[in-house]
């Protein structure tokens, strides 16, 4: 997955800038982002503080790691079942 060129702190700062009363189109133009990107960030990070955003990112990373481990385990189990199920 492509990494954002903005950190969580920067994203929250951009969202707060818009909440302070700046027009959305102006904020997007100033920071070089598209409106869909802005609204995607608003849906994900809206109302969060920087520490909460970092915690969210850490939980997402841990969840991805656990999903990968589960998929590998299930693949190994299926391979063993297939191997043991065959008659020699």
Q: In whole angstroms, give the CA distance from residue 49 to residue 13.
A: 10
Q: Which residues contact 27 (CB under 8 A, 6 or more apart)?
A: 14, 17, 18, 38
Domain boundaries, the chain: 1-48, 49-87
Q: Which long-range contacts (CB under 8 A, 24 or more apart) does 57-60 make?
A: 57/8
What mean pLDDT value characterizes the chain?
91
Asked whether the beta carbons of 24 and 38 are under 8 A apart, the reply is yes
The pLDDT assigned to 87 comes to 66
Over residues 38-52, the pLDDT tens digits come to 999 999 998 888 899
The pLDDT assigned to 85 comes to 85
The pLDDT assigned to 23 comes to 95
Give the predicted TM-score (pTM) of the model: 0.66
Asked whether the beta carbons of 12 and 20 are under 8 A apart, the reply is no
Q: In whole angstroms, give the CA distance from residue 81 to residue 85.
A: 6
Residue segments in the chain with a per-residue pLDDT below the cut of 50: none
The pLDDT assigned to 1 comes to 58
């Amino acid at each position: 997955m492509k990494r954002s060129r903005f950190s969580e702190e920067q994203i929250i700062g951009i969202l707060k800038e818009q909440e302070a009363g700046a027009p959305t189109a102006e904020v997007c133009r100033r920071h070089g982002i598209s409106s869909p990107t802005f609204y995607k960030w608003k849906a994900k990070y809206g109302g969060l503080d920087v520490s909460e955003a970092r915690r969210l990112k850490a939980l997402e990373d841990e969840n991805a790691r656990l999903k990968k481990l589960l998929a590998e385990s299930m693949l190994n189990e299926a391979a063993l079942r297939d191997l043991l199920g065959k008659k020699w």
